Amino acid sequence: MQRRRFLGLTAAGAATAAMAPALTACGSATPGGAKKLKLIAADYGDSPANTSKKYWDSLVSEFESKHSKIKVDVEVYSWTEVDKKVADLVAAGKAPDMAQIGAYADFAAAGKLYSADQLLSIPTQADFISSISKAGEVHRVQYGLPFVSSTRLLFFNKTLFAKAGILKAPESWDELQSAAIKLKAAGVKIPFGLPLGPEEAPAETMMWMLSAGGGYTDKNGAYTIASPENVKAFKWLRDELVAKGLTGPGDPARTNRQEVFAAFCRGEVGMLNGHPTLMQQAEAKSIKYDTAPLPGSTGKSKATMGVADWMMAFKQNGNRDQIGTFLNYLYQKDNVLAFTGQYDLLPVTTSASRDMAQLRADQKLWPFLAQLENAEFYPADKTSWAKVSKTLKEKVGGAVQPNSDPEGILSEVQREADATEIADPQR
């Protein structure tokens, strides 16, 4: 993921990015008569040694050996540029045949994408984990094909817990606060890491909303950002963690997730909410850690946050049959597991998930996998979400600062979200 801050779904306004020069045509025919498809993909590696291009090169080679009339050209870009690259191509009228990026809703709402049932066989569609495939729907039609996924868990430093005399992971907010107090008394610099800075504030926000029984939207898809449950979560954070010095010396509103991850890997953080790639980072620094379900307001949280990145197929070049053939191949179980296994990610298909749950080599991912079926996802189907996410990054950290007004700040974000929805002609 470029050890991507992982699947943050922070791609904002992809379809509105500026046009880039020197763009090439996609989906052309080769001299030998084969149809050539263009795929733009994100790089999940953090060095040339583990770049995603190696996966795509191997997959395409095997695919083309079985389908001589279809050639696939894959271009891999870092997460800092891939969404804009695709947006530039689309804006220039030179859309790729396929894109594997962070957001799909703008393109779907503009009528530029094939739907899943236009591309995939019934068995392939049915194999998607239902909670994830629903997150790929716009007006109950699936356009976003999930590519990889993850969930979030509470990470804790076992060495620091033992030093502070904490015997088990907290299951409720009160237990979390109690553990944080003990960690602070034991000299731990950051008892609980709370990254509400601009890097990934929407993710940390969502986890606390869910742990209070709230969330970004209701069952009908309406924004509920200023709900009583969400306000309760931020008042508790303000009064019971931040005000009592249990989140360390930094300002949570200016603290980014990767900063907290790095501090955890230095042995300076007792607890934080994290995703699977933190395991690799912590192990590389010989940190003894464990994971547990997110604590809720009165007990274990009933839901955790799920995140996903997306594959989509553009209509522009008219290569539906060839795209469908390739995507049905891509989502075969072994191909899914080959990618997720390389980057400690979770599969998006039931068949691959079942295999992962039985593979001893993937045992450390099992707790994340167990959360996936009931995970809650960003409202990525909303074209307004990109703007709402940006607003959250700018404002929500202020809701935990001293003398702040969490209800007022969340209500302000709610009003802006509602106004964005009303102004969106494609909602």
pLDDT in tens, 355-375: 999 988 789 999 999 988 778
pLDDT at 14: 38
From the list 327, 350, 353, the residue with the least C-alpha distance to 341 is: 353
HSE-CB for 159 with a 13 A CA cutoff: 12
High-pLDDT (> 90) share of the chain, %: 74
The pLDDT of residue 4 is above 50: no
- Please report the domains of the chain, with CATH numbers, ordered by start residue: 14-149+307-377 (3.40.190.10), 153-303+384-423 (3.40.190.10)
How many residues does the structure list for the chain?
A: 427
pLDDT at 382: 87
The pLDDT of residue 313 is above 70: yes
Mean pLDDT within 380-387: 86
The pLDDT of residue 397 is above 60: yes
Residues 104-149 pLDDT 10s: 988 999 999 999 999 999 999 999 998 899 889 988 899 999 999 9
The pLDDT of residue 52 is above 50: yes
Residue 29 — very low, low, confident or very high, per pLDDT cuts 50/70/90?
Answer: low
Residue 343 — very low, low, confident or very high, per pLDDT cuts 50/70/90?
Answer: confident
pLDDT at 23: 38
Alpha helices in 357-400 (DSSP H): 366-372, 385-395
The pLDDT of residue 158 is above 80: yes
The strands making up 269-274's β-sheet, listed across from edge to edge, are 190-193, 269-274, 153-157, 289-292
Which tokens is 15 given? Answer: 């379809």
- Arithmetic mean of pLDDT over the chain: 90
> Do 145 and 310 meet the contact criterion of CB atoms below 8 Å apart?
yes
High-pLDDT (> 70) share of the chain, %: 92
Which tokens is 74 given? Answer: 């894959």
> Do 389 and 202 meet the contact criterion of CB atoms below 8 Å apart?
yes
The pLDDT of residue 19 is above 50: no
pLDDT at 424: 65
pLDDT at 222: 94
pLDDT at 3: 35
**pTM confidence score:** 0.82
